[in-house]
Amino acid sequence: MGRFRDAGDDDTETAIDISPLIDCVFILLIFFIVTTVFVEEAGVEVDKPQAAAASSGESESVVLEITDKGEVLYDGRSIGVGGVRGVVRDMNKKDDAPVIIAAQEKASSGLLVQVIDESKLAGAKKISLAAAKGSE
């Protein structure tokens, strides 16, 4: 039995060298970081209204209010959706007046879209939205 060694006779310990494994992991990490494509998330562009003090030289704006009862008001009087185009067109003849639509909290979103469409059809280039206080 001299040819076979007993496992318990060997005094040296065997160890696994992990430094090549660490090198491979770092190389893969660098590869994935470099080849990663960053996706730009799609969004909606919003024209934010500026403060009154910041709009120097800007003329009078068209302020339309949409109530929770379905009325469209301009300067305190009801004009309806059909009157929006005429009011905005008249104001745009003088100068390129921005349109501000103030919708109350309970106002219909469909009516809001109709007012925006009518304003664009009348030639408004700047349309901003504002929140109006609801009737209490």
How many structural domains compose the chain?
Answer: 1
Q: What is the pLDDT of residues 8-38, one digit of tens each?
A: 555 677 888 899 999 999 999 999 988 887 7
In sequence order, what E strands does 15-95 have?
Answer: 62-66, 72-74, 77-78
Domain CATH code at residue 90: 3.40.50.620
55 within some domain? no
Tokens 């893969």 found at: 28
Range of the domain at 124: 62-132
Residue 133's pLDDT band (cuts 50, 70, 90): low
Contact (CB, 8 A) for 68 and 104: yes
Q: What is the pLDDT of residues 39-95, one digit of tens each?
A: 777 777 777 776 655 544 445 778 889 888 888 888 888 888 888 888 888 877 766
20 within some domain? no
| pTM for this entry | 0.53
Q: Give the separation between CA 133 and CA 103, rounded to whole angstroms.
A: 8
| Neighbour order of strands in the sheet with 77-78 | 77-78, 72-74, 62-66, 99-104, 127-132
96 within some domain? yes
